[in-house]
Structure 1
Amino acid sequence: MFESTSELRFAVLIDADNISEKYVKVVLDEISNAGVATYKRIYGDWTSPRLASWKSCLLDNSIIPMQQYSYTYGKNATDSAMIIDAMDILYSGTVDGFAIVSSDSDFTRLVARLRESGMVVIGMGEQKTPKPFISACNQFKYLDLLYAQQVEAPEEPASAAADDGDEQAGRSSQR
């Protein structure tokens, strides 16, 4: 029988152009600490050989790849597709928040718009992520630091590692 819960429902949207597949476990662990991942989508040009390494990771974690062809070099059609889907999900009313996983400042305005609509937004990216994107989020998680902690202490219980990771990985306060 299905039991309803009061957990927050998140749409996890991942920019494959700016995030390594090695961070997926960290992303999903962090979201499970905040609620439940209702949507798990990743955006990229899956015909590109450079994204071939993602296949097993996507299958193992039930993440839906969203195909976006690179029409011209230097233009980021993937970002546009992710933004459009985020707005569609927002208007569907099926989530309480978003996890935007990218080290790209192009999502700063999207995050601001989602927050204006009352959504909780958790940003996740590497330390190279521009400050405006980090500041726009309710919380920001540094994936490279959390990943390093996970690799260094794999024998720790997951909840203890995540709690410690929040503090050491520069978890921003609720905004």
Structure 2
Amino acid sequence: MPTEPRSPRLAVLIDADNTSAKIADGLFEEIAKIGEASVRRIYGDFSSTRSKAWADVLSKHAIIPQQQFAYTTGKNASDITLVIDAMDLLHSGRFEGFCLVSSDSDFTRLAARIREHGID
């Protein structure tokens, strides 16, 4: 008996510092239409007022927070951690797609690099 095709595995990486928590419900509804969000991570300084709103939606959507304190001004440890994790996940070969969630154009090159590897 043929088995049903498996939904594409997706890695969802959210930049909490540049994304509103208000989008969470709609975001995961849309992601469910295209595949399974196998990895759900969010990056930010959750001690800051900008990212605290995400605390209410983390458990509802099974999002794993990656706390990054802002030790210096002008540097964004959250962005760097997100990029490192994305590259690790990309090279694991376990995912058919990535969802990079941010209003920050700094991730444009990361998205291009993921596409260069044949992943959407």
Same fold (TM over 0.5): yes
Cα displacement string for residues 64-117 of structure 1 (whole angstroms, at most 9, x for unaligned residues): 001111121222111111000000001111111100000111001101110011
How many percent identity over aligned positions?
Answer: 52
CA distance in 1, matches of 2:55, 2:5: 32
Whichever residue aligns with residue 40 of structure 1, its letter is R
Are 2:95 and 1:68 equivalent residues in the alignment?
no
Structure 1 CA distance, aligned partners of 2:5 and 2:25?
Answer: 23
Gaps of 5+ in 2: none
- What is the correspondence of 1:141-156 to structure 2 with a 5 Å cutoff? none
Letter in 1 for 2:100: I
Number of corresponding residues:
118
Secondary structure of residue in 1 paired with 2:37: strand
Q: What secondary structure sits across from 1:30 in the alignment? A: helix
Report the structure number with the largest CA radius of gyration.
1
Unaligned runs of 5+ in 1: 121-175
Corresponding residue for 1:54? Answer: 54
Correspondence list, 1:1-175, <5 A:
5-120=5-120
TM-score after normalising by structure 1: 0.64
CA RMSD after TM alignment: 1.4
Partner of 1:139: none
Query: 1 CA distance for matches of 2:16 and 2:115?
Result: 23
**TM-score, scaled to structure 2:** 0.92
Query: Which stretches of structure 1, 4 residues or more, deviate above 4 A after TM superposition?
Result: none
Cα distance in 2 for partners of 1:56, 1:76 equals 23
